[in-house]
Amino acid sequence: MIGVSAAHALMRDGHEVTVFDREGIAAGASQGNAGAFAFSDIIPLATPGILRQAPKWLFDPLGPLAIRPGYALQILPWLIRFARASMPDRYAAARDAQAALMRFSSDALNHLLVAIRGTALIRREGQLQLYDTPGQLRASQPGWDERAAAGIRFETLTSHAAIAEIQPGISERFTNAVFTPDWINVTDPRAWVEFIAEDMMRHGVAYRREAVARLAPQGAGVRLETGAGAENFDRVVLAAGAQSGALLAPLGLRLPLETERGYNTTLPAGAFDLRTHVSFSSHGFVVSRIGDGVRVGGAVELGGLRLAPNMKRADALLAKAKSFLPGLDTTGGKRWMGFRPSMPDSLPVIGAAPGHPNLILAFGHGHLGLTQSAGTAEIVADLVAGRGTAIDLAPYRAGRFIRGRA
C-alpha cells in the first residue's frame, strides 16, 4: 500500500518510476487488513500504564495482545523501547505527531481520490466502538477527550437501543459505545491497491515482480540488486513493510522494527447485515465489510517473521464475534495471517536514511498503513523533489532510534 501510493505520487510529480515487488500487488498485509481509513486512531499503542498488563500477555496466547513465549527474549529490546514510549511526555509527543500525520493523510486521500477517480471504492459508513461495561466507557474517556481536542467528531451512546439504531443485530449485553461518523472504509483493500497500481502503470510506471536482494550507495544514487542483476537509480524509496529491516541491516542501520502478526477470517456474502465498521474495544478486534462479505480480525501477536501462524487466534476472534453478533453466519470463511510493521512508539519511519540521503524510508506504520498511505506518499514526493514538507518530519525520522543521531 505504501509503496504503490508513493510510486503514484512520484509519477504525478513527473518522475520516471520503477516498482520492485517480490510477491505481487497487495500480496502481503495490504490485502488482509480491515479496509479502514482510521483517521480518528491517534492514540499510540504505548499508553501510560500499559506495561502493567504485560504479565497477562505472556500467559494468554489467544488474548488481544500476546507475545509468543518462544519470542519473548528476542523481542526484549523492542519492549524496553516500548516501555520508554509509554512515559507520559513521550506518549503525548507521539499522540500529537500521530494526529498531525492523520490530518495531513486525510487531505492527501482527497487529492488521491481526485487523481485516480476512485470514489466508487470508498464507503463512508462511520465506525461503532463498543464497550463491555459503563466502567470501560468511562475509562476510555480521556482518550476521547484527546480526540476531541484534535478536532475528531464522535457521539457517545449509552443504551442498546441507540446502538441498534446504527447497527442492528448486536448482542443486548452492549449498552455503551462511541460512534465516529467521519470514519471511512474502502470496499476492499486488495481492490484499492490494485486500482492505484493499475492507474500508475497506465501512466508509465514500470512494474517488476522481482525480489530486491541488496541496496548500496552508488555515487550520487543507489544501486539496487535483484536476481536479474544490478541497476542504479537516482533515488530509492524503501517501503517493504515488515521486511524493510533486512535490507537496511547491511548498511549498518538497525532500527527497532517489529512484526505485529494480525489474524482474520473473511466470511462470504450474506454472513451478516453489517452497516458500519464495528470495533470491540476490550477484545482487540473489528468486524468490517469487505466486498459483499464480512471480515473478522485484528488483535496483536508479537512473534516476528519466522514462527508458524497460530490460526487458533483467528478462530478465537470468530467465536467471540459470533457471541457478540448472534446472527453472524460463521460458515465458509477463509482464514489469514499477515505481518504489520511496527515501531515501539507507533509512529512510522519517514525520511532519508541516516548517512544515505538518496535512500528514502517509508515503513513501520503498524495498523495504519492504509490510513496514512496517501499522506506518506505525498511526503515522499516532497522529499525526492527537495521541497519542504507540510508537516514537521522530526517525530518520524529514523535517527530517533539511533544513538548519537540528532
> Please, which residues bridge with residue 122 across strands?
186
Judging by beta carbons within 10 Å of its beta carbon (0-12, 13-18, 19+), is residue 27 exposed, middle or buried? middle
Residues of the chain with pLDDT under 70: 54-59, 403-406
> Please, which residues bridge with residue 214 across strands?
225
pLDDT given for residue 406 in this prediction: 43
pLDDT given for residue 52 in this prediction: 78
| Overall size of the chain counted in residues | 406
> Do residues 230 and 223 touch, judged by C-beta distance below 8 A?
yes
> Do residues 62 and 316 touch, judged by C-beta distance below 8 A?
yes
Q: Please state which of the four CATH numbers 3.30.365.10, 3.40.50.300, 3.40.1080.10, 3.50.50.60 is assigned to the domain occupying 2-121+207-272+292-401.
A: 3.50.50.60
pLDDT given for residue 399 in this prediction: 93
pLDDT given for residue 58 in this prediction: 62
Entry pTM: 0.95
Helix (H, G, I), strand (E, B), or coil: what is residue 256?
coil
pLDDT given for residue 148 in this prediction: 96
274: number of Cβ within 10 Å? 20
| Strands of 64-188, DSSP E | 65-67, 122-123, 127-131, 155-157, 176-180, 184-186
So where are the chain's domains? 2-121+207-272+292-401
**How confident is the model over 264-321, as pLDDT tens digits?**
999 999 999 999 999 998 898 999 999 999 999 998 888 899 999 999 999 999 999 9
> Do residues 116 and 8 touch, judged by C-beta distance below 8 A?
yes
